[in-house]
Amino acid sequence: MTLIDGKAIAQQVRNEVREQVAEWVAAGHDAPGLATVLVGDDAASAVYVGNKQKACAEVAIQGFDHRLPVDATEDDVKRLLHELNADPKVSGILLQLPPPKHLDGPKLTEEIAPGKDVDGLTPISTGLLHKNLPGLRPCTPLGCMELLKRHDVDLQGAEAVVVGRSDLVGKPISALLLQANATVTTAHSRTRDLDEVCRRADVLVAAVGVAHLIKGDWVKEGAAVIDVGMNRLDGKLTGDVEFDSAVERAGLITPVPGGVGPLTVAMLLRNTLQAAKDAA
């Protein structure tokens, strides 16, 4: 059994992005720029935004950190997003979700220009993904694919099961796996005989947000298991997969924390560089 070291792979991706940014700037271009927009004073969201800005600085991407008060209106947020859409220094825009309750996060995300949608969440980005046309893809699903790629998991004709159907992870990772020529089943909380469906999987992606939903004996012998879940149980972070029993059967598995999580920010940096190149 191989334990996937998400931190080490994320660092490799960051190093590659830093080298590519340096080459881009050396060729006479402006450094890519990432604008983060945080509405309100949610402590966890502030930490996430801070980490993204810090990651930008590490790879020489310009960071533009915008904060709006908790009582900001929909028009206030839209006005800022439209200004950032028009700013040539800004390659990518990220609206930190969720915003305060009086604001509609997904609706506001639609205001981001598709070419700057480094989270890959606008309806146009979603359409480009499902049509397999060039565009920016959601960061966490990209991170999952990167982990599989760096461990030489052969997806051609493989049976892949994705447990979860969210717009953030489940649906896009299913699309990416399908484009890699895997045979994909999207399962969810209403799936009949979920245990049997999971046992068929050569690649099992858990992205449902229920701690230890996937039992160890649901894992096919030798399967690659990507656990996207991030749940708090007895004060500790844990995944959607019952890790201690799953490691007995999996050929490859991500821990939680330290598996998929670090890749999300690394892929955000890569997307920001891609957005800058696409706009040039």
**How do the pLDDT tens digits run along the chain, 280 residues long?**
999 999 999 999 999 999 999 999 999 999 999 999 999 999 999 999 999 999 999 999 999 999 999 999 999 999 999 999 999 999 999 999 999 999 999 999 999 999 999 999 999 999 999 999 999 999 999 999 999 999 999 999 999 999 999 999 999 999 999 999 999 999 998 999 999 999 999 999 999 999 999 999 999 999 999 999 999 988 899 999 999 999 999 999 999 999 999 999 999 999 999 999 999 9
E strands, 15-91, where? 33-39, 62-68
pTM: 0.96
Structure tokens at 192: 């009949």
In words, the CATH class of domain 139-261 is: alpha beta
Evaluate whether the domain defined by 29-113 bears CATH number 3.40.50.10860: yes
Cα angle for residues 96, 138, 218 (degrees, 5° grid): 110
Cα Rg of the chain, angstroms: 19
HSE toward the beta carbon, residue 124, CA cutoff 13 A:
13
Residue 93 near residue 112, CB atoms below 8 Å: yes
Q: Can you tell me the distance from the alpha carbon of 211 to that of 213, in angstroms, rounded to the nearest whole number?
A: 6
Helix, strand, or coil here: 251?
Answer: coil
| Calpha distance 53→5 (Å, rounded) | 23
Query: Given 62, 116, 119, 227, which residue is catalytic?
Result: 119
Which amino acids are annotated as binding site, given as ranges? 164-166
What pLDDT score does 189 carry? 87
131 counts as catalytic: no
Give catalytic status of residue 101 as yes or no: no
Tell me the CA distances in angstroms from 132 to 123, 129, 162, 175, 188, one per residue in order. Answer: 14, 5, 19, 9, 24
Q: At what angle do helices 139-150 and 6-26 cross, to 10 degrees?
A: 110
Angle of helix 139-150 versus helix 170-179 axis, rounded to 10: 40
Domain boundaries, the chain: 29-113, 139-261
Nearest to 148 by CA among 262, 17, 260: 260
- Catalytic annotation on 274? no
Report the pLDDT value the prediction gives residue 63, as an integer from 0 to 100.
98
- Edge-to-edge strand list for the sheet holding 92-95: 62-68, 33-39, 92-95
pLDDT at residue 123, rounded to an integer: 96
What does the pLDDT read at residue 253? 98
pLDDT of the residue at 173: 98
- Give the residue numbers of the binding site for NADP(+): 164-166
pLDDT of residue 242: 97
